[in-house]
Structure 1
């Protein structure tokens, strides 16, 4: 067909008659088809009243800016400019003008896309309403444009070069660009074209017609808001490159700014069975980008990570201001989430589960690649990591050094369950390799882990402080290996691994933490362990108000070589010695009694260490003696003593260690010096 009929539409109307006609039209509906027939038209024409009624998602609401305002409500950063305000502010005025122009159009012709592509003599005074399913919308001929490329969605070019422009608000539909969403057709080109065209706007991706959208690697542009219809599924082709240096990922957010993605519960996934080698086939790769918000989306079944945050192939060395909110990552091959380098990351109410395939196989792995990488302003809030083959939440700091910027990582009210370890803080180096800063775990819970709920492995005492605040480990050590050197039947453990030797480990504080074992057959043997596995020193560790609940577990298991160890709890935990024996560091901060004794009890003190404190209390009516190691003494007003004691019930004494190996009396009730 050469053109869409011959038109004779009367348009010579004054502004006054136009206004009169509009008022009349408001009272009496116009018979558009009758008007067309009277003017000699054979095509169906649509009156302006019907045009207004059918504008839909791209129409009157968009003219008012409502779509943009609503979408932006949940995406504001702390900075003055939000992601969505940056995206939405670019073209609103232009789109409003175009829509208002079409509202002045008297008639619209219903056509197919195929009709416009063969239209040779278009009329710039008419609107063309495309009726192709999922591509419906209004177009107008632009006689001034001779260069725009046909993209199917917003620009159509006829066989003789006429350009038709779609009229829409600030929202584009992915289906306009020819997506099929049938689980068979490769939609890569259509989806990528939609994404590119939507830069500066909002892109709506409707639910697939059948199965899922099938696509290769997709690049997200700057300044875009993407919203998925609930139930949408996007699956990667089975042929993404797994061989470097040209690794492919499903979604690339590379060196861009101002991106907002709302999945509304939709799923992006791979056929994991096709990715049994390699570890780089991620669902989301966010590299060298800034102001990115992703929420309400699932990233599952990848050949690598569900989410990756770093700088792969980016000229920018780190990401900035990244938000993941209410996202899920399940059954991924390497990690649910990998964090390499970022300044400003908030991960809120996300779940990372079922990771299995290649190491580390954790829910989350925070692991920089080099000295210049940043781990700043990182916050995990109310997140869950469960059922992962490796750790739930893992921080691995092999590459940063003392010259790196200080790290700042907080886990707040996060939970783990059913992993190998729950939370693991690993491998901070010694001396010049000791990165500074702090990692805080606040109100976190680890439950039913195979080994320890909270592990601190080969982390130098010179490096970043680790603070465990009100954390709880519940029913861990499920594999029941109480002498495993790295779990040690403990809820909380600080130790080393042979492959990562350190001069000294420590610089950790446990405040108001609790080890809980409520099982009928308890499996936790030690609540809090400070264990030496090599020749390293152990120093600068504090246990403040920590406790145990249930089972036959000991509160502390502290290696006697440890230094600068401080433990305090009110009321004091109690350990009874009904017979003579040696006092160990496991009872630092305890009240030690002779309860149950039937005769004199002599206790051999360890060599004193700075800040180590014991309280001794006579409960049974028998002599309680305290004896020092050979060559050591207890400093008293009567000089140094190697043996002191008393048999009067109620008498007590507090001994505090000194750095020279001697004990001094810091409190005493009754006479222990006779």
Structure 2
């Protein structure tokens, strides 16, 4: 007889003796499982099959790719205890197939007997632990009999939500079962299988520390219609509050609400990450909320920011307030995520970065390859009403992001003056705005004293779709820096545009201006620079610059050329340009604007007629012969470059020919 056959024979004999001696409480012959069958079942049973393979390939490659802190904390589980439990299982004399109800009724269990639970979705092996008299019954991993005996599930390192009694039928409220599964999985891993029919229906769920959660592809989890919208006890579907080391892989699963039930208030979010550290959420949909798809801040947490948060390959669609709200965070990576069709209550943006106080942090925030499309408000919005000069430096980067079909594509709003001006920089690199109702890129009431905005290789394509070329907040422009009446500023500016392009390829072009600086009240505009910016299509002007602008600089390659065939005034719109009299049929005079720091022009005489440059009242051109209010020449081939100074005078920075005759 083989070893395995002998072991099976011994198990059967042992069971028979129990029955024959009358010590058993039930007829166990039909429920008996031999050791050989037990070993075979371990390879194919529902729980065993999941624990054998589901997490083996996850590890460091799917959690923090660049920061292994979550992986180390969650996946670094000791195998010694698992091996010990498995050996204990294999040392049992026999195994009985039972229902959960029968196990809870077992009053005198044998420590040498193994129990295999057969309830659908809850299958698995349990053993009696005579040393434990306190652990609570959670249905999934610990069962307590009517007289207090504890039965422990044998599993590798992954728990399954269905073990805890979830129904996932779209009718039963699974809150208690799901929360029990989450609590039990702290320090380990939890698998949530796809619903049997309908979806998981649940109230608010709290995620514990040191947990890895994986959802079956196609899983749907829907909030009950009664989450609290009453302050201060707001409820959200998923709460990641004041915890560390959380990894959630949705595998394309969807978390959602019945949006029709949440048409008031704005706090019923899908994911609320508050005061937490080392959190990764990836490959998941957060849709149809009564608030935000995702929220990152510190709601109800004593820790006033979250830290090291990653959202990767996530989707937020048809949410009530925002796809994503960012309040306070030190380290946020949002990669390849989509924020679409936000509609309900303001700001109704794809993403809104908006701190609540001067103490909130906006540090090391990176959006890479993200999309915001079809939102009623902005695609990507940064609103800085609350930070001040005492706030920590702001550091936000949008890298290779795209917007389409929003009100504005990217809006940088409301940085304050003076003591209310926060330090730092916001960078937009290789970003595209397409088909926006108004401007592709807007700066609204953003003080020149505060955070610098840098636009690098950004492109606006076919924007201004509502065709309102004189709208005060977009002015028919692809890129605009201006104010809104309710947020007045002493000065706006501190922005740089490098290699940016305004494109209008429509058969009937709607774009009027590429780059605009516009005053709406009493503010001045200062410290704005343009390097190699351009327009393409539509007959749009390159610049539209308000005369109040100061410290404005433009440098273009190739340099733009503008011809005057008759006398006229030179506007700031022509900064950085070459201005000629080509086509003139006689002498002309060009009146310079008031000299401003950094404003530069170059003038060429191409037609053989005198070209005069005249200063406005109170201004002069500095020459070796003293200040002049007018200079000129008729010698073809002559040129002169002028640079405005802060004292209101024009300096000659280059000259060919005699302009002083």
Aligned to 2:380: 393
CA distance in 2: counterparts of 1:173 and 1:490, whole angstroms: 55
Alignment match of 2:55 (pick from 49, 54, 67)? 67
CA distance in 1: counterparts of 2:154 and 2:525, whole angstroms: 70
In the alignment, is the contact (CA less than 8 A) between 1:91 and 1:201 conserved in 2? no
Alignment match of 2:3 (pick from 4, 11, 24)? 24
CA spacing shift, 1:555–1:597, aligned 2, 3 Å = same
CA spacing shift, 1:336–1:655, aligned 2, 3 Å = same
Aligned to 1:248: 235
CA distance in 1: counterparts of 2:164 and 2:491, whole angstroms: 61
Alignment match of 2:176 (pick from 169, 183, 189)? 189
In the alignment, is the contact (CA less than 8 A) between 2:326 and 2:355 conserved in 1? yes
1:543-622 correspondence to structure 2 within 5 Å: 543-622=530-609
CA distance in 1: counterparts of 2:461 and 2:404, whole angstroms: 9
Aligned to 2:405: 418
CA distance in 2: counterparts of 1:50 and 1:628, whole angstroms: 100
CA distance in 2: counterparts of 1:563 and 1:90, whole angstroms: 62
CA distance in 2: counterparts of 1:663 and 1:118, whole angstroms: 97
Alignment match of 1:97 (pick from 72, 81, 84)? 84
Task: Give the drift of 1:247.
Answer: 0.6
Task: Give the drift of 1:91.
Answer: 4.9
CA spacing shift, 1:598–1:100, aligned 2, 3 Å = farther
Task: Give the drift of 1:333.
Answer: 0.3
In the alignment, is the contact (CA less than 8 A) between 1:33 and 1:44 conserved in 2? no
Aligned to 1:17: none
Q: Which stretch shifts more, 110-119 or 234-243?
A: 110-119
3-state secondary structure, aligned to 1:278: coil
CA distance in 1: counterparts of 2:54 and 2:195, whole angstroms: 26
1:366-445 correspondence to structure 2 within 5 Å: 366-445=353-432
CA distance in 2: counterparts of 1:169 and 1:614, whole angstroms: 75
Task: Give the drift of 1:644.
Answer: 1.8
Aligned to 1:52: 39
CA spacing shift, 1:32–1:340, aligned 2, 3 Å = farther
In the alignment, is the contact (CA less than 8 A) between 1:129 and 1:138 conserved in 2? yes
In the alignment, is the contact (CA less than 8 A) between 1:75 and 1:82 conserved in 2? no
Q: TM-score, normalised by structure 2?
A: 0.95
CA spacing shift, 1:299–1:66, aligned 2, 3 Å = closer
The Cα offsets for residues 418-437 of structure 1, whole Å up to 9 and x where unpaired, read as 00000000001011110001
Task: Give the drift of 1:59.
Answer: 4.4
Aligned to 2:130: 143
Aligned to 1:650: 637
Alignment match of 2:114 (pick from 127, 133, 136)? 127
The Cα offsets for residues 520-562 of structure 1, whole Å up to 9 and x where unpaired, read as 1111111000101111111000001111111111100011111
Task: Give the drift of 1:642.
Answer: 1.9
Task: Give the drift of 1:31.
Answer: 7.2
3-state secondary structure, aligned to 2:330: strand
Task: Give the drift of 1:34.
Answer: 6.7
CA distance in 1: counterparts of 2:139 and 2:556, whole angstroms: 71
1:465-504 correspondence to structure 2 within 5 Å: 465-504=452-491
3-state secondary structure, aligned to 2:303: coil
3-state secondary structure, aligned to 1:67: coil
CA distance in 1: counterparts of 2:8 and 2:81, whole angstroms: 30
The Cα offsets for residues 185-212 of structure 1, whole Å up to 9 and x where unpaired, read as 0000000111111100100000001010
The Cα offsets for residues 360-406 of structure 1, whole Å up to 9 and x where unpaired, read as 00000000000110000100110000100000000000001101111
CA distance in 1: counterparts of 2:419 and 2:87, whole angstroms: 66
Gaps spanning 5+ residues in structure 2: where?
20-27
Aligned to 1:209: 196
Task: Give the drift of 1:33.
Answer: 9.2
CA distance in 2: counterparts of 1:62 and 1:390, whole angstroms: 45
The Cα offsets for residues 315-335 of structure 1, whole Å up to 9 and x where unpaired, read as 111101100000000000000
In the alignment, is the contact (CA less than 8 A) between 1:448 and 1:477 conserved in 2? yes
In the alignment, is the contact (CA less than 8 A) between 2:31 and 2:98 conserved in 1? no
Aligned to 2:99: 112
The Cα offsets for residues 491-533 of structure 1, whole Å up to 9 and x where unpaired, read as 0000111101111111110011111111111111110001011
CA distance in 2: counterparts of 1:255 and 1:188, whole angstroms: 20
3-state secondary structure, aligned to 1:538: strand
Task: Give the drift of 1:258.
Answer: 0.6
The Cα offsets for residues 77-126 of structure 1, whole Å up to 9 and x where unpaired, read as 655x5202202334543223212321333532111111111112212112
In the alignment, is the contact (CA less than 8 A) between 1:58 and 1:170 conserved in 2? no
Q: Which stretch shifts more, 391-400 or 33-42?
A: 33-42
3-state secondary structure, aligned to 1:630: coil
The Cα offsets for residues 335-378 of structure 1, whole Å up to 9 and x where unpaired, read as 00000000010000000010000000000000000011000010
Task: Give the drift of 1:242.
Answer: 0.7
The Cα offsets for residues 201-227 of structure 1, whole Å up to 9 and x where unpaired, read as 100000001010000000111111000
Aligned to 1:532: 519
CA distance in 1: counterparts of 2:387 and 2:65, whole angstroms: 28
Q: TM-score, normalised by structure 1?
A: 0.93
CA distance in 2: counterparts of 1:648 and 1:309, whole angstroms: 66
The Cα offsets for residues 297-319 of structure 1, whole Å up to 9 and x where unpaired, read as 00000000000111111111110
How many residue pairs align between the two structures? 650
